Amino acid sequence: MNIRPLYRPIILLVMFLAMAAAPVFAKVPPKAKGAMDKGIAAANRGEFPLAIQHFQAARAIAPDAADIYYNLGLAESKMPGRELRAIAWFGAFLAANPETPTPTVAAIREEIDVLDFRSRSNISRLIKSVQDAASQISNDENRLDVALMLAKVRDIVGAQKTTDLIQDASYKSAAQALIAEAQAKTGDIAGARKTADLIRTLFYKSDAQKAIALAQARSGDITGAQKTFIEAKKTVDLSQSASFKGKRQADIAEAQAYSGDIAGAQKTFIEAKKTADLIQDAVNKSDAQEAIALAQARSGDIAGAQKTADIIQDAQTKSRAQIMITAVQAKVDITGLVLPMAPNSTRKLTSDTQAPMQPAIAVTDWLQKLDNSRETNNMAVSDRTDLCPLNTDLFLDLAGYLRSLPSPDDPKTVFKGLLKTAFRIVEAQYVITEMLKQQAKQ
């Protein structure tokens, strides 16, 4: 077998380092050079797993040497199923070298595009397997799962067709809310509004409107976002339940703060607290106040959150709220659930309307994803970037992982196993894609 072309990009990298008068790549310390040389030699023999071992050994010696990230990306790009890991290595390299020459950046981004296509092809095949498995046990809950996944990968037509088959009104509303959110994120605000208008459940309708408002804010349409937030609040006001209303108002206020509408968030938080005061049942009242306090904390208003927590009557609920506020303030996950931090969560609610801040993507952000071996079964935290475990069997050996899934005679078990696998890959793909977009804007 002719192995030289397999790893030609690494050879080109070495040539570039040798020829450049002022290399932009981090130099590898002498102690790590031996491992690097062994890795390149193994790669040129087509022994990519061995090459990765040597490159990781070099990284352990010189963790800040960015050319190691580059070589790891190239090596992992040759291994089917490791596309997202390879993309992350390249992302780390680019983050470490903001002054990389434009032709080099263009070549790396072209390779990222190829890897992204391969990853999405894997996802498409996996989703087809999920759909086939779901057809064997068709029920509304399974259809909702499939619709959620299709919406996540922006297959709006497929998600809508699946949703049309759902009979249960609550499940259908949940699916429609997910579709509306997906449409909004792709920029189809008009389509998202049409979908939201179909929703009959107040909870999901307000969720869809909130998602549309956030998408409008991200696109720069602050006025449109403010109007849509008002629509979401009107939807919530249709409910006769003060407990429901108070919690949903808190959610909307948090979203307003996230979008930069600080004045609107302050007003909605005040409304939420007034609504909570109307709740007669002591337990429900404490629960609503806890939800408001947590939303205030996540939106950046720590002082306001603490004041809300102070008025909670139930001692256990108050203690839990105070612990959660402290966790948000410290940006520490102590409950097993990762809290979605607003981009401007480090500042207090003090101004009228501010553009939402987007944190810069750093090298450590990519490395955290690559080294993350934490897995979760909690699908409710699907958009949280902390839950992108690229250092797990699923992303290290996709084919082997799929072979390890149980294949019993029970179609439901088969479906659940495939669904869980597909969700994890879809979520990771989403996280990596969003990071690349954000990095490209820096």
In this structure, the dihedral spanned by the alpha carbons of residues 307, 313, 314 and 318, taken in order and rounded to 10 degrees, is 10
Amino acid at 2: N
- Kindly report, residue by residue over 287-313, the tens digit of the pLDDT: 999 999 999 998 888 999 999 999 999
Is the pLDDT confidence value at 2 over 60?
Answer: no
pLDDT value at residue 7: 44
Q: Which domains does the chain have, with CATH numbers?
A: 4-112 (1.25.40.10)
Q: pLDDT band at residue 242, thresholds of 50, 70 and 90?
A: very high
What rounded mean pLDDT belongs to the chain?
84
Q: pLDDT band at residue 359, thresholds of 50, 70 and 90?
A: low
pLDDT value at residue 110: 94
Q: pLDDT band at residue 208, thresholds of 50, 70 and 90?
A: very high
pLDDT value at residue 340: 39
Average pLDDT in the 72-82 region? 95
- Kindly report, residue by residue over 371-417, the tens digit of the pLDDT: 998 765 443 333 344 568 999 999 999 999 988 888 778 888 889 89
- Kindly report, residue by residue over 31-43, the tens digit of the pLDDT: 899 999 999 999 9
pLDDT value at residue 358: 55
pLDDT value at residue 376: 57
pLDDT value at residue 331: 65
Q: Residues 300, 306, 307, CA angle at the centre, nearest 5°?
A: 115
